[in-house]
Amino acid sequence: MRHRRSILVTFSSFVFLASSVLANGPALLRLERRAPSDRAFLIEQGITLVLEREGYFLALGDGDVVREKLTALGRDSVVVEADTEGWTYFVLGLRPGAVVGDVACCGAPVFADEGWVLVRSAGQLSDECAGSPNWFVRRLSLQGISPPAPPPEKYASWNEEGPTGIDPHPVVQTIVDSLSDTMIQANWSDIVNVASTRFSRSTGCQTAAEAVFARFQALGLNPVYQYHTTGHAPNVIGTITGTTHPERLIIVIGHLDDMPSSGNAPGANDNASGAAMVVSAARAMASYSFANTIKLVAVTGEEQGLFGSEYYANHIPAGEQVVAVLNADMTGWQGDGLPATGENLDVNTNSTSVWLGLLLKEAATAYGTGCPVDHFSCPSMVYSDHAPFWDRGWSAICGITDNEGYCGRSGSYPYYHTSNDTLANCGVPAFYYSTVRAYVAAAAHLAEPMCGGGPFPPVPSGVTAGPSGDNRITVSWSSGGSGLVYTVQRARGSCAGTFRDVATTTGTVWIDTNVSGDVTYAYRVVAARGECVSEPSACVTAVTTGTCQESPEFAGVATAANAAQPICTVNVGWGAATPLCAGPVTYNVYRSAVSPFTPGDENRIMSGVTSLSVTDAANLVSFTPAYYLVRAVDSSNGSEDPNTVVRRGIPTGPIAYASWTDDAGDTGPAALTLSAPWSIATDGHMGPKVYKTVPANRACGALTTPPLDIASGSLLSFWSK
């Protein structure tokens, strides 16, 4: 599409309605915008912003207080509405050919600027106003917009530095390639033909919502209805839950309702095209697994002021993180044929969402969708279901075939809000098909496919285990589908034992030949597809016949402690092992100067030990760590358990005798421990500090030294005063 050279809209000068009534409620003020970063800056300064435009904001609050704050910041402002108490406000985006005077059916104009009018209303807009072909509508939320949320880490630099390209994922390519023209067209036609009208308060819109719900349900997306505004059909929400980060949301959204409010309303472009994109995305991605959660949302009440999407955005549960919102609105029209090189998709971003517009373009190209994307900053385009997410500070984009003259992009759909908004009048559908593929490519890429391109593996079921001959147990389970790899896990003794992987297979039967007779074995199975692994199956047990070659159940060495002997010594201890065969149990002790280490003949220091502790004093070096590993052996078969538990002991010794002195802290910390009535005074004999007490009848107080090894002939000397 071409850039706009002129706009065929008549604008009045700014409209300010004066009132002699004393203002009781907060005022609306217009304040200048100097840079993209102003949104975050002004909110940080305590200014409540309620509307963002390219060149300015609307702020809400006490007029005098807000103007004082802004003056201190060197910012100009002007009050456009002195008292908002009790009123509802709507922003009307004028389409080419409309003039401010046309909006009288909507309410009282409060403020008008190039391309839009703010009107005051006592409640919701009339159907005549909401359904007019002369403007777009959104309700102005007065709760205040939020600071911008940062982009995902891997795209953090894109808002300032541009894209560095993306690496196409083969699973995403498979998903995009599955979107046939026939499938996309069928989804589009189904929504157009589901009812004669999808006006948001009609039974036809309810029927359409039920049809989308049924489609989501058939795809296993656990759909829910979300009711938002009395009398309106509900939103429909389907979910593909992320396997790694279920809290991170990729939202694919389009509104289901249409206009006009009476008579036939096929709404093929506005907005069966966007809703069908959501359904097509659901069909293409439902059978795949992703790291992040995908929300597929068909909203209603859009034509009356974004009621459904605003409710949805404001009720996202705490703890969930909106990563990206991909909104499609009127993408079905083949366009005005400009630029001459071919129609492109106009993609509106704000300063927070530049990276997302870039990613849509990159994905559309990398995955061969055939959709040319023209992304640009247009924060004034607040008339579709991405806008409530902008208000919350989240990254969102709005794609439309032609941008209706906004932000320098021309082109205007001639059948907007009329009964002539039909599939036939949308023209050749090839462009629409390409936009659907572009949206799905971006959503799937952001969601990050997992599990090797298939669904998350189910927990194996139907697991059985039983003897199949001496020293043999056969384990089997039901197939969970194609492309799965199964791991058999085994524990000895019972299902409460420690499970270890013993086999990997793509089949559903495995024979365990490494088992002993008269020993209970527990089995469970897990399934994997790519990096995705199921939870373990239910546990089953089996006992077979044959010889017993199992090693004992043993927890390994428990302690290795310095014995504090004159000769370097470490005491090593452990708990008793449990034999699974005839027994009895003996123990082998291993020692190394490093950890971890592999036990073997070269580092075995004791064998055949029958007690639960040993004392090691062989060739140890004072203050040098020694590492110990103990294994249990069943004497009836010679099987040694495989545990790898290592404990460290640091021996001390041999003891060197010397003089020990203490001067109450003159030359270092005082070494004696005092109890009443002892204290440290500063009138000592050889130095200023001394241990001191006072005479008291029957008073007993101890001065305690550190542990001392007193050699024969030792002499204790002390000064007293």
Mean pLDDT calculated for residue range 44-66: 95
| Averaged pLDDT of the chain | 92
Residue 14: pLDDT over 50: no
Q: Tell me how far apart the alpha carbons of residues 490 and 520 are, in angstroms, rounded to a whole number.
A: 10
User: What's the CA dihedral at 191, 415, 257, 197 to 10 degrees?
Assistant: -70
Tell me where in the chain the CATH 2.60.40.10 domain(s) lie: 464-543, 557-649
362 vs 706, residue with greater confidence = 362
> 557-649: which CATH topology?
Immunoglobulin-like (2.60.40)
The rounded distance, in Å, linking the Cα atoms of 302 and 145 is: 19
Report residue 554: phi and psi, to 5°: -150, 135
What does each C-alpha distance from 498 to 419, 487, 493, 524, 553 come to in angstroms?
Answer: 69, 15, 9, 12, 10
Query: Looking at residue 321, what is its pLDDT?
Result: 97
At residue 283, the pLDDT reads 98
Written as six digits, the tokens of 217 are 């349900």
Reported as a single tens digit per residue, the pLDDT across 537-588 is 999 999 999 999 999 999 999 999 999 888 899 999 999 999 999 999 999 9
End-to-end CA distance of the chain: 104
Average pLDDT of span 314-337: 95
Q: What is the pLDDT of residue 526?
A: 98
Largest CA distance in the chain: 117
Q: Is the pLDDT assigned to residue 10 strictly greater than 80?
A: no
Q: What is the mean pLDDT of residues 606-613?
A: 98
CATH assignment, 464-543? 2.60.40.10
DSSP string computed for 565-612: -SS--EEEEEPPPB-SSS--EEEEEEEESSSS----GGGEEEEEE-SS
- Tens digits of per-residue pLDDT, 413-432? 999 999 999 999 999 999 99
- CATH 3.40.630.10 spans which residues of the chain? 173-452
Fill in the DSSP letter of residue 344: -
> Residue 238 is encoded by which pair of tokens?
């389907």
Architecture in CATH for domain 173-452? 3-Layer(aba) Sandwich (3.40)
**Residue bearing the bigger pLDDT, 481 or 675:** 481
Q: What is the mean pLDDT of residues 63-82?
A: 93
* Reported confidence tier of residue 17, pLDDT bands at 50, 70, 90: very low
User: Residue 30: helix, strand or coil by DSSP?
Assistant: strand
